[in-house]
């Protein structure tokens, strides 16, 4: 078993929860790593192929991490419901993790009862498999409560090690199963003008909007594998919000409509995560509060593959 040097999830988790120091980062830390995908995926990309711009000004590409570079996958389990959906997911995860390249480290976290680290990033596949299989299915949904700290944690990992990082949630969450009541119950059933009757999903949308603002300060892509599509009106609003949140980070969400779809969807999502590039950009010593990013092919050609990447990131004020 090999451990990933300088990356300890428990330490990063404590740092993410601690107050941000008021000192400015030294010049050599003024970098930003942006996830990038090239479509079609079999395209080979080099740093010399790209031109980068930050707020419409040319930016220096310091390094390009490729699909062959080291990858840290922070997998967060948020499992509370039907064993008929969860067990196929566990079995598929174990099988797919066993296929990962040797330079992929998997860190396992649990979202129930507050975010907890089950194992630091490791290439010990049997250990990760045992933890996945033994995790109990119980409690309240924790995805919304843990999403921002996990995304922040992923950024800390990227700063501590020159690796690609992605966050992958495996969830069966139901919007009615959170500790916080997001169902916006009717306050006055006799009042036809009661807004809680007209906008039953308003609490969901408000919570998602806050989270999207928080995620704007992070740079790691977030992927959400939801094991059980739920057709109720509130859950449709919730699932739509999850998709928007993931897409805002350059990731995406998938909602499985049957247990038979779970293995293929997990395999496809992991393949997509593994195909990522990361562009490391040098930033001004006094960065603007928001970065508008643009990547272009140096030699313009209409036949060139499409570049998919995170186009906007905010800067936390120190």
Indicate whether 190 belongs to any domain. Answer: no
Residues 55 and 157 in one domain: no
The answer to whether residues 254 and 270 touch, using CB atoms and an 8 Å cutoff, is no
Q: Report if pTM > 0.75.
A: yes
Predicted pLDDT of residue 16: 47
CB atoms within 10 A of CB 261: 15
**Dist CA 171 CA 86 (whole Å):** 9
Predicted pLDDT of residue 197: 45
Residues 154 and 290 in one domain: no
CATH number for the domain spanning 76: value is 3.40.50.410
**Dist CA 73 CA 167 (whole Å):** 6
**Dist CA 100 CA 31 (whole Å):** 28
Residues 228 and 282 in one domain: no
Residues 157 and 94 in one domain: yes
Predicted pLDDT of residue 37: 97
Indicate whether 6 belongs to any domain. Answer: no
Residues 76 and 112 in one domain: yes
| C-alpha torsion sign, points 137, 139, 141, 145 | negative
Predicted pLDDT of residue 30: 78
Residues 173 and 94 in one domain: yes
Cα angle 154, 93, 275; round to 5: 55
Indicate whether 175 belongs to any domain. Answer: yes
Distances (CA, A) of 304 to 39, 44, 52, 273: 9, 11, 16, 22
Residues 309 and 242 in one domain: no
Predicted pLDDT of residue 318: 47
The answer to whether residues 164 and 71 touch, using CB atoms and an 8 Å cutoff, is yes
Indicate whether 45 belongs to any domain. Answer: yes
Residues 267 and 285 in one domain: no
Indicate whether 19 belongs to any domain. Answer: no
Predicted pLDDT of residue 132: 97
Predicted pLDDT of residue 113: 81
User: Domain of 300?
Assistant: 29-66+278-314
Q: Per-residue pLDDT tens, the chain, 318 aa: give them.
A: 555 544 445 545 544 444 444 444 444 457 889 999 999 888 899 999 999 999 999 999 999 999 999 999 999 999 998 899 999 999 999 999 999 999 999 999 999 888 999 999 999 999 999 999 999 888 899 999 999 999 999 998 888 888 999 999 999 999 999 998 888 654 544 555 444 444 578 899 999 999 999 999 999 999 999 999 999 999 999 999 999 999 999 999 999 999 999 999 999 999 999 999 999 999 877 778 888 999 999 987 767 899 999 999 987 654
Predicted pLDDT of residue 299: 81
Domain count, the chain: 2
Predicted pLDDT of residue 192: 52
């Amino acid at each position: 078993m090999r451990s990933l040097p300088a990356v300890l999830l428990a330490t990063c988790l404590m740092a993410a929860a601690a107050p941000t120091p008021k000192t400015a980062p030294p010049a050599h830390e003024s970098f930003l790593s942006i996830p990038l995908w090239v479509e079609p995926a079999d395209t080979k990309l080099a740093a010399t192929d790209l031109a980068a711009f930050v707020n419409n000004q040319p930016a220096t590409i310091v390094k390009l991490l490729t699909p062959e570079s080291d990858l840290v996958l922070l997998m967060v389990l948020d499992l509370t419901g039907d064993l008929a959906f969860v067990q196929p997911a566990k079995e598929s995860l174990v099988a797919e993790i066993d296929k990962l390249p040797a330079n992929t480290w998997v860190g396992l976290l649990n979202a129930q009862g507050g975010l907890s680290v089950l194992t630091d990033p490791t290439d010990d596949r049997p250990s990760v498999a045992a933890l996945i299989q033994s995790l109990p299915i119980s409690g309240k949904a924790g995805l919304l409560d843990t999403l921002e700290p996990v995304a922040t944690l992923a950024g800390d990992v990227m700063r501590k090690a020159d690796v690609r990082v992605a966050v992958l949630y495996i969830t069966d969450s139901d919007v009615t199963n959170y500790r916080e009541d997001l169902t916006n119950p009717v306050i006055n059933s006799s009042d036809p003008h009661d807004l809680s009757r007209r906008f039953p999903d308003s609490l969901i949308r408000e919570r998602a909007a806050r989270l999207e603002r928080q995620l704007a300060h992070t740079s790691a892509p977030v992927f959400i594998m939801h094991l059980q599509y739920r057709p109720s009106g509130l859950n449709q609003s919730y699932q739509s919000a999850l998709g928007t949140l993931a897409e805002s980070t350059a990731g995406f969400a998938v909602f499985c409509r049957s247990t038979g779809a779970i293995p293929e969807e997990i395999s496809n999502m992991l393949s997509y995560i593994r195909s990522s590039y990361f562009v490391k950009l040098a930033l001004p010593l006094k960065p603007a509060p928001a970065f508008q990013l643009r990547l272009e092919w140096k030699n313009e050609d209409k036949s060139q593959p499409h570049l998919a990447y995170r186009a906007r990131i905010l800067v936390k004020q120190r």
